[in-house]
C-alpha cells in the first residue's frame, strides 16, 4: 500500500509540473499614445502592436507531501496587444521585434529562475518514477525464483521513489515565485519594468512595420 501511495504521489507531482495553468489577462484601458499613431492599413495591422493597461490574474501551485497549496494574485501593468484585441500577446513572441535587450534581460530573470527550478523538480520526479518502476518490475520478475532478491529489488525501488519525491519537492519553485513568473509572461509590471523602454520598443516595431508595408 505504501508503494502505491508513493507511486500515486510521484505521478501526481509529475503531472503538476508538466501542466501549468496560464494566467488570465484582460485589457483595462485604451492604448498608449505613440508618435506612430494607429495602424493605417490592413498590412500594418498584421505587424502592429498596441501598449495598453492590463490586469493579469496569475495562479501558482506548490506540491506538498499530503496536499497542494494554491496561490492567486492580481498584477497590473502594460501588455502588448494586436489592434483591437483584448488578450495580450505572449512576450516570448514579441521580444525580437521590440529589440530592447536590457529590458528583456531584467524582465526574464524571475521567469528563468522558475523555469530552471521546474525542470530540476521534474527531473527528480521522473528519476524517482523510473527507479521505482525498475525496482518493482524487477521484484515481480524474480519473485518466483528468489524471494530475497525480490524483496531487495522492491525496497530499492521504493527508496528510489522516495528520493525522487523529496528531491522534486525541494527543487520545485515556490508558489510566490511562480506567480511572478506567470504574470511576467504577458505583463510589464508597474514599478519594476522600464515603461519608457516598452514604449520605445513598440514604437520601433510599428515604424519598421510601416516602412515594410510602404514598399
Angle at 213 between CA 211 and CA 215, to 5 degrees: 75
Number of domains in the chain: 1
pTM over 0.85: no
Q: Measured between alpha carbons, how far is residue 167 from residues 64, 70, 181 in Å?
A: 12, 20, 22
Say whether pLDDT at 116 is over 50.
yes
Per-residue pLDDT averaged across 43-50, rounded? 94
- pLDDT range class, residue 4, cuts 50, 70, 90: very low
pLDDT, residue 191, reads 84
The C-alpha cell at 201 is: 520598443
Mean pLDDT of the chain: 78
Average pLDDT over residues 44-72: 79
Q: Terminal CA-to-CA distance of the chain, rounded, Å?
A: 71
> What is the mean pLDDT of the segment spanning 199-205?
96
The C-alpha angle 21, 27, 31, rounded to 5 degrees, equals 140
Rg (CA), the chain: 24
In the chain, pLDDT over 90 holds for what percent of residues? 33
Per-residue pLDDT at 22 exceeds 60: no
Most confidently modeled of 21-35, 39-53, 183-197? Answer: 39-53
Domain that holds residue 149: 2-214
- Contact (Cβ atoms closer than 8 angstroms) between residue 115 and residue 125: no
Q: In what order do the strands lie in the sheet with 188-189?
A: 24-27, 50-63, 68-81, 188-189
User: Any idea which of 12-26, 59-73, 112-126 has the lowest mean pLDDT?
Assistant: 12-26
- The reported pLDDT for the residue numbered 64 is 58
Q: Residues 129-171: pLDDT tens digits? A: 777 777 777 667 777 777 777 677 667 766 666 666 666 665 5
Whether the CB-CB separation of 172 and 64 falls below 8 Å is answered with: no
Q: Please give the C-alpha separations between residue 186 and each of 12, 107, 165, in angstroms, as whole numbers.
A: 28, 11, 32
Name 74's bridge partners.
57
| Cell (9 digits) for 205 | 516595431
Highest mean pLDDT among 118-132, 136-150, 195-209: 195-209
Amino acid at each position: 500500500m505504501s508503494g502505491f501511495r508513493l507511486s500515486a504521489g510521484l505521478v501526481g507531482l509529475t503531472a503538476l509540473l508538466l501542466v501549468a495553468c496560464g494566467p488570465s489577462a484582460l485589457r483595462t484601458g485604451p492604448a498608449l499614445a505613440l508618435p506612430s499613431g494607429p495602424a493605417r492599413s490592413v498590412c500594418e495591422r498584421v505587424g502592429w502592436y498596441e501598449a495598453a493597461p492590463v490586469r493579469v490574474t496569475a495562479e501558482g501551485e506548490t506540491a506538498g507531501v499530503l496536499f497542494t497549496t494554491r496561490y492567486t494574485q492580481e498584477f497590473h501593468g502594460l501588455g502588448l496587444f494586436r489592434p483591437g484585441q483584448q488578450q495580450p500577446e505572449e512576450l516570448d513572441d514579441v521580444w525580437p521585434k521590440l529589440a530592447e535587450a536590457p529590458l528583456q534581460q531584467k524582465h526574464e530573470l524571475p521567469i528563468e529562475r522558475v523555469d530552471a527550478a521546474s525542470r530540476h523538480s521534474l527531473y527528480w520526479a521522473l528519476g524517482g518514477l523510473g527507479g521505482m518502476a525498475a525496482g518493482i518490475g524487477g521484484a515481480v520478475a524474480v519473485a518466483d525464483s528468489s524471494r530475497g532478491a525480490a524483496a531487495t529489488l522492491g525496497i530499492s525501488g521504493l527508496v528510489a521513489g522516495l528520493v525522487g519525491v523529496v528531491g522534486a519537492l525541494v527543487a520545485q519553485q515556490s508558489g510566490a515565485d511562480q506567480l511572478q513568473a506567470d504574470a511576467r509572461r504577458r505583463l510589464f509590471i508597474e514599478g519594476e519594468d522600464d515603461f519608457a523602454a516598452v514604449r520605445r520598443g513598440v514604437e520601433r516595431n510599428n515604424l519598421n512595420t510601416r516602412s515594410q508595408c510602404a514598399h
